[in-house]
């Protein structure tokens, strides 16, 4: 993980408040089909590890979207909150939740092989296919 810092944020309606103690300064885009269906476009996210406090947990809905991840959303306003890796509890949180953008750098993209042809980011980033990402997860076991 890149350099980290504490970041605070909330969902659109404010029912859920988040404090991520060790949020990465790296912002990534996921282009997988599920993320695009879930968020309406590429999912821009920050790896927040497992040290995350959520106030208003009763408003968090969980959808088990695959064998390896859950997706969290606000049951009140519908904001996409996170995807959580089931094996580790690692939270990859929506970048737009956080009110402080200082130090954030868009530097990586995953599932680049599923990115549709109607958009492309101009930023120079580290790009991984879905297979490359899954291979990386497998090597962490």
What digits encode the pLDDT tens for the residues 33-44? 999 999 999 999
Q: Residue 45: how many CB atoms within 10 A of its CB? A: 25
Domains and CATH numbers, the chain: 4-139 (3.90.1590.10)
Token pair in block for residue 79: 């904001």
Rounded Cα–Cα distance for residues 15 and 58 (Å): 9
Q: Is the dihedral of CA 80, 50, 70, 113 positive or negative?
A: positive
Rounded Cα–Cα distance for residues 12 and 30 (Å): 21
pLDDT in tens, 112-128: 999 999 999 999 999 99
pLDDT of res. 1: 45
pLDDT above 90 as % of the chain: 89
Q: Which residue has the higher pLDDT, 73 or 140?
A: 73
């Amino acid at each position: 993980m890149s350099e980290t810092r504490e970041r605070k944020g909330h969902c659109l309606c404010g029912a859920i408040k988040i404090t991520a103690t060790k949020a990465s300064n790296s912002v990534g885009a996921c282009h997988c089909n599920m993320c695009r269906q879930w968020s309406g476009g590429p999912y821009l996210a920050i790896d927040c590890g497992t040290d995350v406090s959520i106030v208003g947990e009763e408003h968090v809905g969980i959808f088990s979207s695959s064998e390896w991840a859950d997706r969290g959303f606000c049951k009140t306003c519908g904001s996409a909150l996170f995807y959580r890796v089931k094996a580790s509890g690692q939270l990859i949180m929506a970048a737009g939740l956080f009110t402080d953008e200082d130090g954030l750098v868009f530097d990586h993209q995953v599932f680049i092989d599923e990115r549709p042809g109607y958009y492309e980011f101009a930023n120079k980033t580290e790009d991984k296919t879905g297979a490359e990402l899954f291979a990386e997860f497998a090597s962490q076991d």
